[in-house]
Each structure stands twice: as C-alpha cells, then as structure tokens.
Structure 1
Amino acid sequence: MQAVVLAAGKGTRLRPLTEDKPKVLVEVDSKPLIEDVFDNLIDIGITEFVVVVGYRKEQIIERYGDEYRGAPITYAHQREQFGLAHAILQAEPHIDSDFVLMLGDNIFRANLGDVINRQQEARADAAFLVEEVPYEEASRYGVLDTNEYGEIVEVVEKPDDPPSNLVMTGFYTFTPEIFHACHLVQPSDRGEYELPDAIDLLIQSGRTIDAIRMDGKRIDVGYPEDRERAEEWLAERTADQSEEQTADAPEQ
C-alpha cells in the first residue's frame, strides 16, 4: 500500500527551529519528525512513499534519496502552500489505488493499522483516526460529527462553535475519490483549499467514511513547547519499556 506524507510546510510556528530547515526535519528524541512517520508507516505494512515537499525541499531529498528502509520514495512538489487539499493533489499522478495519508509533523504511538483494516473490511471510501480533546481546544482542529454507527456526517475546520470534541488526528486512508473532491474545493476564508471541505463533499455525495477512535497517544509538533513535551513523553516511554524488560528478564 502507498502512503502520502505531507512535508511541504514552512513550520513558522516552530521558529527558530525551522529557520534553516523544513519542519519535518526538526528532531524529537534525536530523530527527525519525518523519520518517525516513515518508521510508523513501514511498521503497519506501507511499501511505498509519496512525499509532498516544498519549503527547503532539497534538504529532505538529499537526506533520504529514493528509498527509506527499502521502501521507494517519490517526491511531489508543492511550489506554493495553498492548504492540505492542494497538497494532496500534487500526489495524484503517483497514486494508483487506495492510500494512506499522514501529516509529517505528528508523533504517533497508536493503533494506526486499525484504520487501514477498518477501511478495507467495510469497503469505506475513507477512514480516519480520531481523538477526543477538551471542548475548549476543539476549535483548533478539524472537528467531526458522527452518527450512531461511527460514520462521519460532517467535518468542520476550526469552528468557533464545535459540534463535538472529536477531532481529526492527521492519519487517514482514502480511495482515489478524494482527488476528485479536492479538485472541486473552493478556497476558504483563509485562502486555502481545506481538506475538511473535500471530505464534506465526499459525505454529501453519499460516500461512506468511518471514524476510528485512537488507542494510544499522539503529539502534533506545532510549537517549540510541543517538541519539548514530545521529548519528555518519549523519554518516559523508553524508561518504562526498559523497566518492563528488566522485570521480565529471567533471573540468572
């Protein structure tokens, strides 16, 4: 299965960490963000990457070349950053079937494989990993409204009055139908082509979209303090795993 990784952003909120490098090369726990994304995707069976690059793209291309851990990499160029729907369209010529979409600036330790399994089993047109956040934080994200079967009936990008506290996390699966929807999207008030607007077009056309609740944790590394929080979290995980391994080791 192919995965599209979005890595074109400037990361202005992460400055000064991104003054001389693209956002996805900012390191957390001594590893660039995009490398953590690659490792997560390979671990769930992804065999090919399409990486959408833009800001300081040459650093990403020079570092990773045409493969990572044996998985081929194709680069798609987003010359101007006009939103996520616009970014996805840059990958369209390289996608030939259902695919995973993952943002390049999230640290996940969660049930990513469940999203792929759900879409394939239900033959849905899309499936997303979602999580609940405090209501006061929901307006920072794409907010979901679902029916009793867990199907998404509405997606609202950064609403002033969120319909729920269930938000998208940055991990999705799609059929190629998403490209048609992205072509139809009109610029938002922010002047960007929003992914939630494309998803809403799928919903309005009767497509089936599933929401899978996250089992685990993720951190969206949008600000320097998020990077520090991610560093602390991963260090704690490593320490806990070391303690478990020591406790499980047979006595000599």
Structure 2
Amino acid sequence: MKALVLAGGKGTRLRPLTHTSAKQLVPVANKPVLYYGLEALRDAGITSVGIITGDTGQEVREAVGDGSRFGLEVEYIPQEAPLGLAHCVLIAREFLGDEPFVMYLGDNFLVGGIRDLVESYQAAGHDAQILLTRVAEPQFYGVAELGPSGEIVGLEEKPEHPRSDLAIVGVYIFSPAIHEAVRAISPSARGELEITDAIGWLIERGHHVHSHLVSGYWKDTGRLQDMLECNRIVLEQVEPEVHGTVDGLSEITGRVVVERGAVVENSVLRGPIVVGANAKIVSSYIGPFTSIGPDCVVADAEIEYSIVLDGSSVVGVSRIGHSLIGRNVEVSGTTGAPNTHQLMVGDHSKIKVQA
C-alpha cells in the first residue's frame, strides 16, 4: 500500500504566517505538523509516499528530503494550482499505480495514528474507507450519513441541516476504483474537483464505501486556535528533559523540555513547555502549553499558551498569551507616551491589544 500526502494549498486562515511558509510546516511542540502525518504512515507499515506540493514545494522538499529520516521513500508531485483533492489523485495516477493507497491531508493532526484504519481496510477490502469523527458543529464540515452496517450512504458538504454529527477527517483509503471516479466527475462551483463528489460517484455505482471512526484526537490545523490546541495536546504528553543549561536562580516545575544548547537564566518555567535548541530565556516567565522554537530569545517577558517559531525574540513585554509568533520576528516593549502602541504589521495580520 502507498500513501498520497497533500502538502499544497494556500493556508489562508493562518496568514500572514503562510505568506512565507507552508502551512504543513508550522510546528506543534517544535515539530512540523507534516512530520506527525509522515510518522503515522510509517508506523502503519507504509513506506512509499507521494507528496503533492504547491507554491511552497521547495520548502516542503527541503524539510522532508528523500524521506529517509522517517523511514520512507518519498516522491514529489507538483500541482500547478489548488484544483481540489480529487485533482491530486488525478495527477498522482502514475505514482499510485493499481494498488490501494492512503490519502492523508498534510495539515491534519491525528493522535493515535492510522494503524487501526489500515488494518481494518486490509481485512475487509472495501472500495474506500473514510475516517470520521463526531463533532459538535457538523454544519461546518463535510458530513457522512451511515447505513446500518457502517457503510457510507451519503455525503454532504457543510449542510445547513446535517443528517449526522460525523465529520470527514482528512484521511482516506481508496482502492484503484477511485481513479475512474476522479476522471468521471466535473469541477464544482468553486472550480475544483471535489473528493466528496468522487466518493459520491462510487456510492451511486454500488461500490462499497465504509466508515472508520477516529479512536484518538483529531484537528484540522488551519486556524490559530487549532494550532494552539494541538500544541497543548502534544505538550501534555512530553516527558521532562533538561539537556541545556539552567542556572540556580531559575525555577522549573512540571513537564519541561530544555533542548541542547538552550540557556535558562533567572526565569520561571511552568510546564508543559518545550524550549528549543540554542534558545535563551532570561529573567522571564514561560507559562504552560508554550513552545519556544530553536534560536529564540525571551528576555524580561512573560509568555503562556503560545507558539514562538525559530529565531524570534520577545524582549520587555509584560504578557503574551494565546499567540502564534512566526520565524525571525522581533517583539519588544517600548518607552514613551503611556497607553501608546507602536506597531509595524504585515498584510492580513491579526492583533489584539489592551483597550
């Protein structure tokens, strides 16, 4: 069995970060989201992976390489424009050949892996097996309607009146029958070949499309709050390790990881936290559920429930929370007129300040 990993797309909900970086490479607990998916595929026994890339293809290639670090063999398949999930299957036809495959959306975060899904498919031999999870607001998702034996009898995209609370997760297994389906469908109103239309085509023609419920935690990491929640979930599972230098004036409690080369001086770290390699924390408070990336500097500042990416500095800031700070960003306090905010902000940014 092969895998097709989708790592294209624009990542509009995470702008401005994704103007300059692939959304699949935004880190959770200092590891890109895409890596978790690749590791899940490897752990399920899949070693041959095709990665669909878009405008950020070069960055994805540099991050993943030939796949050997994950125990995988990787082939890259460029997509000229985001023309839909079914279009990804269409252009990957030569790579996929005539064997079943997993399709995995690279910006999805799934705790617990997909081994159960793969084993269930191999035992039953369905034409397609779709991963589903129960959600509180199904009207915001693609929703599946099930028959008495767990077969999928209908699909709706963001329905006003959902027929179930089962949302489609971004992991699918398809038999070679899907290739005929993606060739048969037409673009949707938004100009894309929709995978839900291709699955619907299979159902209408009597192919057996079965469901598989998620056993672990799942998130689509397309929004800030989703990234922070995934970061929290992973950090809750870290084991405390200190490989860097922590001075005697600092206080560390809870699950805290200080990676090699990192320095902590006169600071309070309350886990769960990860401090990346060669980062420097000086006279600061780092609160729970925070990831500080490699080569960052935090001085005379307070941060909690946030993600700070590589090479950024936060200096002289009283409190930052529920934030995602990109790479090589400078956040600093200022002196001058009281209650004055001095900002230099890029397009599509979102800022919240004390009124």
Shorter-chain TM-score above 0.5 = yes
Aligned counterpart, 2:132: 130
Tell whether the 8 Å contact from 2:37 to 2:109 is kept in structure 1 after alignment.
Answer: yes
Residue matched to 1:80: 81
**Structure 1, residues 223-246: CA drift from partner, whole Å, max 9, x if none?**
112111111111112269x99xxx
Q: For the residues of structure 2 that align with 1:218 and 1:238, how far apart are their CA atoms?
A: 18
Aligned counterpart, 2:114: 112
Report if aligned partners of 1:112, 1:129 keep a CA contact under 8 Å in 2: no
Deviations 1:115-145 (A, max 9, x none): 21222211100112211111xx212211100
Distance 1:152 1:33 in 2: 29
Whether the aligned pair in 1 keeps the contact of 2:186 and 2:193 (CA below 8 Å) is yes
Secondary structure of 2:49 counterpart = strand
Once residues 70 and 237 of structure 1 are traced to their aligned partners in structure 2, the CA distance between those partners, rounded to angstroms, is: 23
1:89 match: 90
For 2:20, give the aligned amino acid: D
Q: 1:102 aligns to what?
A: 104
Q: Distance in 1 between matches of 2:179 and 2:3?
A: 14
Give yes or no for the alignment of 1:154 onto 2:148: no
Q: Retained in 1: the 8 A contact 2:43–2:113?
A: no
Give 1:132's aligned amino acid: R
Q: What residue in structure 2 maps to residue 196 of structure 1?
A: 196
Contiguous gaps of at least 5 residues in structure 2 = 241-253, 256-355
Deviation at 1:174, TM superposition (A): 0.6
Q: Displacement of 1:161 after TM fit?
A: 2.0
Structure 1 residue 110, shift from structure 2 partner: 2.7
Cα deviation 1:158-214 (Å, max 9, x = unaligned): 222211111111111111111211111112222221111100000011111111111
Structure 1 letter corresponding to 2:187: P
The offset of 1:61, in angstroms, is 1.2
Query: Whole-Å Cα distance in 2 between the matches of residues 157 and 93 of structure 1?
Result: 29
Whether the aligned pair in 2 keeps the contact of 1:110 and 1:218 (CA below 8 Å) is no
Which structure carries more helix by proportion?
1
Q: Relative CO higher for 1 or 2, CA cutoff 8 Å, sep ≥ 6? A: 1
8 Å CA contact 2:44–2:113 kept in 1: the answer is: no
Match of 2:50 in 1: 50
Gaps of 5+ in 1: 244-252
Q: Aligned runs of 1:1-252 on 2, under 5 Å?
A: 1-68=1-68, 69-96=70-97, 97-110=99-112, 112-134=114-136, 137-238=137-238
Is contact 1:101-1:173 (8 Å) kept? yes
Indicate the SS of the match to 1:237. coil
Give the deviation of 1:111 after TM superposition. Answer: 5.3
When normalised by structure 2's length, the TM-score is 0.65
- In structure 1, give the amino acid aligned to 2:94: P
Matches of 2:40 and 2:124, distance apart in 1:
23
SS at match of 1:163: coil
Q: Deviations over 1:20-51 (max 9, x none)?
A: 11111111110111111111111111111100
Given that 1:119 and 1:125 are in contact with CA atoms closer than 8 Å, whether structure 2 keeps it comes out as: no
The separation in 1 between residues aligned to 2:188 and 2:161, in whole angstroms, is 17
Structure 1 position 103, deviation (Å): 0.4
Report sequence identity in percent.
37
Q: Contact between 2:155 and 2:196, CA under 8 Å: does it hold in 1?
A: yes
Counterpart position of 1:246: none
Runs of 4+ in 1 over 4 A off after TM superposition: none
- Contact persistence 1:51–1:76 (CA under 8 A): yes
Structure 1 residue 59: Cα displacement: 0.9
- How does the TM-score come out when normalised to structure 1? 0.90
For residues 239 and 37 of structure 1, the distance between their equivalents in structure 2, rounded to whole angstroms, comes to 21
User: What is the total number of aligned residue pairs between the two structures?
Assistant: 240
- The worse-fitting range, judged by mean Cα deviation, of 143-152 and 14-23 is 14-23
